[in-house]
Amino acid sequence: MKSTSLNTQLLINGDRLNQTISRLAEIGKLPDGGVKRIAYSQEDIVARNLVQNWMQEAGMTIKIDPAGNIIGRYPGKYPEAPALATGSHIDTVPCGGYYDGTYGVLAGIEIARVFRENHIFPNHPFEVIVFTDEEGSMIGSKAISGRVIKDPNYYRRPDGTDIFSCLEKIGGNWDNIAQARRSSKDIAAFVELHVEQGPILESMGKQIGVVEGIVGQRRFNITVKGSANHAGTTPMHLRKDALVAAAKVVLAVNQIGNTPGQQVATVGKMQLLPNAANVVPGWVEMSLDIRDLSSLHIDSLLQQLRLHLEEIAVETNTQIRLNPALHNEPALAEDYIQNAIAKVSEDVQLSYTYLPSRASHDAQELAQITDMGMIFVPSELGVSHSASEYTSPQQCIDGANVLLRTLLRLDATKSPTNHMPSGIL
């Protein structure tokens, strides 16, 4: 085994990493250049097999847990120590790109290859985890955090397929899914490398994103009840126009989103009734999606919004209701992991910035059971979930090197017999 001082000069093989990214994108490739590799599909299974081959070639042993997660494990110097883990997913949205998820998995495998060819054994075992169905139910990472919903019907696929047969296809087993749960006793820390899927790094000209956490998300269904009436014969002052009220709600939400802070707030969906050119709208239903790293901040914004909605209801003579539809708490990245990523970026002379992840990631589930960190690389024009998703080969290499060195830094500073951070970074 080489010394830590040597390890810090270690770099991944960039060409090899990028070749595997291109190779995996062949599986499920669409005519427009996008990739369709839906979880549990034939394409997903082919890709899972290829990834397992690559893991084995990189010297990893493989375990499929009951949730179908692929856990590739590279041995550590202290086999009983909790693992340092990375990973992501290789399933895609129906028309996805090359990088979302895949990049984090393949960078992890590349790191194992580098360990193997340099005869490096870190103190902690090193794991690369391929999480099941990130783009859908996130059942893989939820099984690891012990947060799978008990009702199997919840996991039925849009095409009607049940979760039993889905998991069976990929080597999992619904009945034993509780056994997939892990804890900080066997994962000392989890660091996920991912494309940003947003425009911030590119717009700031930064190479690396040190993720502060994955934002909490609340979703609501807002209903506005007015009174449908003839758009000709009903004078303006006698109207209860649900759309006028809804328009004020949209602007109130936008105003909340634009107050100082890192929150985003969106009305993305709206339906009117009766939705006819010659009828004053009597009913509007719309979505509200609000995200921030701080749950308290979201609470405070929602409190402001509620007051605003009450005023709008009075002003417009309508009834407005805010009905909760989703509540995800923020998942914060550990400070010491953020610091490690930042210092490693400085070491390798890559510019970086701190930013929240406003999209969901498997890392948010891992944060429930262990110390979590995330590294972002830029997405061209912020585009994702699209055939035109793009991160350059060099950007892919940079992120993988930061992941490699962050893991080595954590390995060196975390005690293999005590998973708490040493505090000396």
**Residues contributing to the site for a second copy (CB under 8 A):** 196-200, 203, 215, 217, 219, 229-238, 241, 243-244, 246-248, 250-251, 254, 257-258, 262, 264-270, 272, 275-281, 287, 289, 291, 325, 357-360, 382, 384-385
Look at the block and give the residue holding tokens 């009702």: 151
CA distance 409 to 407: 5
Between 82 and 216, whose beta carbon lies closer to a second copy? 216
User: How far are the Cα atoms of 162, 205, 355 from residue 199, in angstroms, in the given order?
Assistant: 37, 10, 11
Nearer to a second copy, 127 or 212 (CB): 212
Distance CA 425, CA 423 (A): 6
CB of 62 to a second copy, least distance (A): 32
Nearest approach in angstroms of CB 220 to a second copy is 9
Q: Please, which residue, 316 or 370, has the CB nearer to a second copy? A: 316
Q: Which SS3 state, helix, strand or coil, does residue 22 take?
A: helix
In the complex, the smallest distance separating the C-beta of residue 172 from a second copy, rounded to whole angstroms, is 27
* Residues contacting 191, CB < 8 A, separation 6+: 84, 85, 86, 337, 341, 372, 373, 374, 375, 403, 406, 407, 410
The CB-of-264 to a second copy minimum distance in angstroms stands at: 6
- The residue among 176 and 203 lying less far from a second copy, judged by its C-beta, is 203
Q: Determine contact, residues 89/192, Cβ cutoff 8 Å.
A: no
> What's the closest the beta carbon of residue 86 comes to a second copy, in angstroms?
21
Cβ 317 to a second copy, closest distance in Å?
13
CB 190 within 8 A of CB 372: yes
- Give the SS3 label for residue 416: coil
Tally of CB atoms within 10 A around 149: 11
Smallest distance from the beta carbon of 130 to a second copy, in angstroms?
23
- Cβ-based nearer residue to a second copy, 128 or 372: 372
The total of other beta-carbon atoms located within 10 Å of residue 50's CB is 16
Distance between CA atoms of residues 343 and 223, nearest Å: 48
In the complex, the smallest distance separating the C-beta of residue 273 from a second copy, rounded to whole angstroms, is: 11
Residues counted in the chain: 425
CB closer to a second copy, 192 vs 371: 192
- Per DSSP, 346 falls in state H
**Which CB atom, from 76 or from 226, has the smaller least distance to a second copy?**
226
Rounded CA separation 272/275 (Å): 5
Nearer to a second copy, 46 or 279 (CB): 279
* Helices and strands of the chain, counted as H and E runs: 12, 18
Residue 69 or 357 with smaller CB distance to a second copy: 357
Q: Phi/psi of residue 193, each to 5°?
A: -105, 130
Nearer to a second copy, 18 or 379 (CB): 379
Residue 95 CB, shortest distance to a second copy, in Å, is 13
First and final C-alpha spacing in the chain: 22
What's the min distance (Å) between Cβ of 121 and a second copy?
37
What is the rounded distance in angstroms from the CA atom of residue 20 to the CA atom of residue 13?
Answer: 11
Instruction: Indicate the Cα dihedral angle 149, 150, 152, 153, nearest 10°.
Output: -70
Residue pair 279/219 in contact (Cβ under 8 Å)? The answer is no
Q: Return the structure tokens found at 118.
A: 């340099």
